[in-house]
Structure 1
Amino acid sequence: MSMDLTGITNQNEYYTNHYFSSIFEENASKTISTWRAEAKNNDGIRTPWSLLRDAAKQYYPLHDRYVRAKDDSQILSNICLLADTYLEALGYPDAQPELIEIDDTLKVPVYLEINKANGAPLLWILLAASQEKDAGILEKHCFSADTIGEDNSNPKSPGEMTTLDNEELATKILFGAAEPPRFLIFIGMNQIALIDRNKWNEKRYLQFELEEIFSRREESTLQAMAVLLHRNSLCPKEGIALIDELDANSQKHAAGVSQDLKYALRESIELLGNEVLYDMANRQGRNLDTDPVDAGQLTMECLRYMYRMLFVLFIESRPELGYAPLKAQSYMYSYSLESLRDIADNIRDDVE
């Protein structure tokens, strides 16, 4: 059975979509097998996904309270509690909250920092919350665990949370800090986001919908979550990070797909050109010996047609982008794939 990635969003193709849906499972299998073998051979070791399944048991009582309550005075402390559970399951050390200065106007509440061997920052984990419960993880704001009261209440002052939302904050950290980390992990009540500095200029990141993932408790989904967020995947003590191996494989796959597409496009142009010549000779009655077709012009027209077809296929597969009025009659009867089918059927009837 293939890996179920429901609840894990590949925003703006952090990995190419085809790689993530079809190839990622194969590349992650070695790590999953290693974890499974370690747990089998050591009584005191459990797999990361089994620990994440336990985290789901803690998640739901706190999440239900969060959803039902108009003002949950312990929301921030509950996010801290859940974050600690996730971090333990994913191989991270205990949190060490600190404020790190980015510039004269901004200090970032970092919940946990993982450093390189030379002491430079490699990964920051940040906690996020918002008064708007439906806000996405990057629309929320970071808070410091040190500002939570002794009774586990929320900070008294809104000023104790960052003024920048997390999307702006990520940009400020990754491209404005003198010595930025490569990775940011934002943890909120409903979502987790993994951001890589190498991909953030195009706003490519991974997002984990915790309610959906934990409600289903699908083993392969929890395995994928563990592979993508585990400390050893992002910040191994030695060797190449798994996240970089996955990225290299994704790029190789994309290059291979591009090469395949090039040859497929060439073949399509040849087939289309031959169909045009057949139609001219048989349906239109044109003598191609005495009235030949300009091969260069025919190739160019077929290429244009194929690119138009690819564009129509794209916009009809992604209606949410709003690139064309797909429901308008003018589009349906003049430009849509359905209208092209009608034209082809009419020509086929004429030939028959």
Structure 2
Amino acid sequence: MPLDMLATAQTSLIGISNDNEFYSHHYLSEVFRGDIKGLLDDWQRSADDDADFIAPPLRLRNLHRDYFALREKLGRERSVRARIELQRDFFRRLLSALDYPCQPMDLKLEEGDELPVLGLIGQPGLAQLVLLGALDPDGEGN
């Protein structure tokens, strides 16, 4: 993995949008950058040790063609079921790029309803991160 990719991620905070100045400039430029430094250093060490290792920022960048191909296919596809399958295929690759497992299931809610999810992250019995995929039923791209 090129050193400049990690340096760019550290300095530009790619993918982070500071809407309505929710985060202070100090937080983003100093605190957050320090918080992720260890993770970026780990990725760099992994890249140095294993020529096949690709850090998540590069994996995400490599998905851009797949994403735009998906958007084009979704624009043509009228079947909701087929659209869901197209999206799930992309979500599998997206979650893999982020090192999250894709384990589609129906999550039973307290009210007895079920929610289709792409996976759960965390310990059973404790609060978990629920991985959801969202369908654009009208194909408007919003």
Both structures adopt the same fold (TM-score exceeding 0.5): yes
Aligned partner of 1:18 among 25, 45, 59? 25
The one of the two structures with greater contact order (alpha-carbon pairs below 8 A, sep at least 6) is 1
- The residue matched to 1:27 in structure 2 has which SS? helix
- The residue matched to 1:80 in structure 2 has which SS? helix
Aligned to 2:126: 120
Aligned to 2:136: 130
Does the CA-based 8 Å contact 2:92-2:102 persist in structure 1?
yes
Inter-CA distance 21–60: structure 2 relative to 1 (3 Å threshold): same
1:3 aligns with 2:9: no
Aligned to 2:74: 66
Inter-CA distance 19–70: structure 2 relative to 1 (3 Å threshold): farther
Inter-CA distance 41–72: structure 2 relative to 1 (3 Å threshold): same
Aligned partner of 1:42 among 43, 50, 71? 50
Does the CA-based 8 Å contact 1:39-1:47 persist in structure 2?
yes
TM-score, normalization by structure 1 = 0.33
TM-score, normalization by structure 2 = 0.72
Distance 2:74 2:111 in 1: 34
Distance 1:78 1:20 in 2: 38
Q: Which amino acid aligns with 2:37?
A: S
Q: Which amino acid aligns with 1:3?
A: S
Inter-CA distance 79–17: structure 2 relative to 1 (3 Å threshold): farther
Q: Residues 166-219 of structure 1: CA distance to partner in whole angstroms, max 9, x if unpaired? A: xxxxxxxxxxxxxxxxxxxxxxxxxxxxxxxxxxxxxxxxxxxxxxxxxxxxxx
The alpha carbon displacement at 1:45 in A equals 2.5
Distance 1:11 1:20 in 2: 14
Of the two, which has the highest radius of gyration?
1
Aligned to 2:98: 90
The alpha carbon displacement at 1:102 in A equals 2.7
Does the CA-based 8 Å contact 2:74-2:86 persist in structure 1?
no
Distance 1:121 1:86 in 2: 23
Aligned to 2:4: none
Q: Which amino acid aligns with 1:57?
A: R
Distance 1:81 1:125 in 2: 14
Structure 2: gaps (5+ residues): 1-7
Q: Which amino acid aligns with 2:135?
A: A
The alpha carbon displacement at 1:112 in A equals 0.3
Q: Residues 83-125 of structure 1: CA distance to partner in whole angstroms, max 9, x if unpaired? A: 1111111111232322322314x32222201232x64342111
Distance 2:26 2:46 in 1: 28
- The residue matched to 1:64 in structure 2 has which SS? helix
Q: Report % sequence identity.
A: 22
Does the CA-based 8 Å contact 1:100-1:110 persist in structure 2?
no
Aligned partner of 1:99 among 81, 99, 107? 107
1:31 aligns with 2:31: no
Aligned to 1:110: 117
Does the CA-based 8 Å contact 1:102-1:108 persist in structure 2?
no
